[in-house]
Structure 1
Amino acid sequence: MQRSVRLKSFELVARDIDDVDVKLLHALSISVRWPHRPKDWDFLRRAGRGIVAVDGIGRVFGSAMWFPHGDDFATIGVVITTPRTQAQGGGRWLMDLVLEQCGDRNLALNATHAAYPLYVSLGFTTEAIVYMRQGEIPQTLPTMPALDGQLQALSSDRLKEITALDTRAFGTNRERLLALLAADASICTLSRGGEIVGYSMCREFGRGHVIGPMIARNDLDAVHLTAVHLKELAGRFARVDTREKDGVFAAFLQQCGLGIAETVTTMSKGRRFLNREDNGPWVYGLAGHALS
């Protein structure tokens, strides 16, 4: 795949994302009103690999990243193009470069409305809708249902206790990503009968905090695994990305001031990404749009 492309009156060159000043990446996300802070970009660069489109004087016009989980699966995200380059095919060029790097891996991504037609043309198929819920957390949470089990904090050096559960819910072992997330996150587990049946992480991101990843077996468990973090965030901005459109969990988020800000579409290429088991663990809260 060509490492440069001419878009009408100017030429763009592909550079490794690690070789680009994070301030320029931050400016790119600001230009499309994405919430990523410089430290969020730094985290993403530690978690994955990426390509940036720059012009002859070093200005950044686009980005695309991929995050490997093992040798046969990856998620794609942080695909950003300025309006000028998007209209001239810059997004397709970046995606072609990323797909070349991903090789024959199975892939998943969360598509914005603007990028959805591009991903369809590249062979991705629709699986689900993600609801980005966010807002300021009230001082008092709604009345909680009875807790079935025990909630307990988990230190980052005990991640192996939740790895198998996460792998079953997510579909692929993402132990390395969990370790990176846990370094700056608070973690809570839910246990029944001595077995961990769910967990949630909460960390700083964008405008405030994001709760995710979160794995639970049912809506009530997900409510408690969310509330344990929301209690510490009263009066502050929080976000939960979930594929739950309605039900007890979705209603609880709404009552906590987390309204739907926007939606994206989960898509896959290769094997199907989402496979929900009856009464099995499920990803109630995403780690992030790029990380899924």
Structure 2
Amino acid sequence: MGRTVRVKSFELAARDINDVDVKLLHALSIAVGWPHRPKDWDFLRRAGQGIVAVDGIGRVFGSAMWFPHGREFATVGLVITSPRTQAQGTGRWLMKQVFERCGERNLSLNSTDAAYHLYLSLGFRKEAVVYQWQGEVVSPLPPVPVLDGELTSLAAENVEEIAALDERAFGTSRQRLLALLSEGASICVLRRGGEIAGYSMKREFGRGHVIGPIVASNDRDAIHLTAVHLKDLVGRFARVDTREQTGPFADFLQQSRLGMNDTVTTMSKGRRFLNRKEGEPWVYGLAGHALS
């Protein structure tokens, strides 16, 4: 696939995402209504790899990132085309660049409605819907079930303690990403019988805070691992992204008076990404659309 593409009367070239000013990336996400701050872009550039589509004078017209986890799997995100180049083939060209650089890795992404048919045409298949709950946290929170275990905080330097549980839930090891996410995050773990049975993180992102990842083996545990952070965010903006459409956890988010703001579609190319098993750890709350 060529490293350049012609759009109307000008040519775009692929450049490493680390070689452009973060202010240009921020302007790109603002143009499509995404909440990423410059510091969010900086974090994502540390966590993954990416390219931008630039013209001859350095203006940025598109982006795409991928986040490898070993040699067999990567998530894809931040696939953005500026309003000026949408419907001009730039998104397809960016994804072809991603394929070239990811090699034979299995891929997963969370697609907006606008990009869904593009990803279908590129060989991705639908797996699930992600529901984006967000808003100002109000008090009091809804009642929670009886806690089975003990909730304690976990220091960032001990994040390796949740790596094995996270791998069971996510499907592959993402220990490096967890270490990056833990920087400046509040981490809560649920211990039961001397073992870690679940965990959750709260960190700054976009308009306020995102609660995620949230990993638990049942709705009851997931509720507690979410509520512990919501209690600290009363009066502030919070966001939870989940694939739970129904059930106690989804009901808890709704009763917390967060608004269901948007949906995206989890898709995969290659092996199936989501493999939920009864009684096994599950990702109740995403780290982010790009990170899943």
Normalized against structure 2, the TM-score is what? 0.99
Whole-angstrom distance in 1 between the partners of 2:241 and 2:141? 19
List 4+ stretches of structure 1 deviating above 4 A.
none
> C-alpha separation between the residues in 1 aligned to 2:62 and 2:52?
6
1:108 and 2:108 equivalent?
A: yes
Corresponding residue for 2:169?
Answer: 169
1:258 aligns with 2:258: yes
Structure 2 counterpart of 1:72: 72
In 2, Cα distance between equivalents of 1:250 and 1:100: 38
State the alpha-carbon separation in 2 of the partners of residues 143 and 75 from structure 1: 35
Corresponding residue for residue 6 of structure 1: 6
Q: 1:142 deviation in Å?
A: 1.1
Task: Measure how far apart 1:139 and its partner are.
Answer: 2.4
**Distance apart, 1:158 and its partner CA:** 1.1
Measure, in 2, the Cα distance between the counterparts of 1:258 and 1:18. 35
User: How big is the shift at 1:257?
Assistant: 1.9
Equivalent residue, structure 1, for 2:284: 284
**Which residue identity is paired with 2:10?**
F
Question: What's the Cα RMSD here?
Answer: 0.7
Distance, in Å, in 1 between the alignment partners of 2:135 and 2:252 is: 13
1:171-200 per-residue CA deviation (whole Å, 9 max, x = no partner) reads 000000000000120000001111111000
Distance 2:285 2:181 in 1: 14
Give the whole-Å Cα distance in 2 for the aligned partners of 1:113 and 1:174. Answer: 27
Identity of aligned residues (%): 74
Determine the structure 1 residue equivalent to 2:225: 225
Letter in 1 for 2:250: A
Q: Structure 1: 5+ residue runs without aligned partners? A: none
The equivalent of 2:57 in structure 1 is 57
Displacement of 1:160 in angstroms is 1.8
Q: 1:177-216 counterparts in 2 under 5 A? A: 177-216=177-216
Report the AA paired with residue 81 of structure 2: T
**Distance in 1 (alpha carbons) for counterparts of 2:133 and 2:183:** 24
Partner of 1:118: 118
The answer as to whether partners of 2:17 and 2:52 remain within 8 angstroms in 1 is yes
C-alpha distance in 1 between matches for 2:117 and 2:83: 15
User: What residue is the counterpart of 1:243 in the other structure?
Assistant: 243
Residue 35 of structure 1: SS of its match in structure 2? Answer: coil
Task: Provide the secondary structure at the position in 2 that maps to 1:159.
Answer: helix
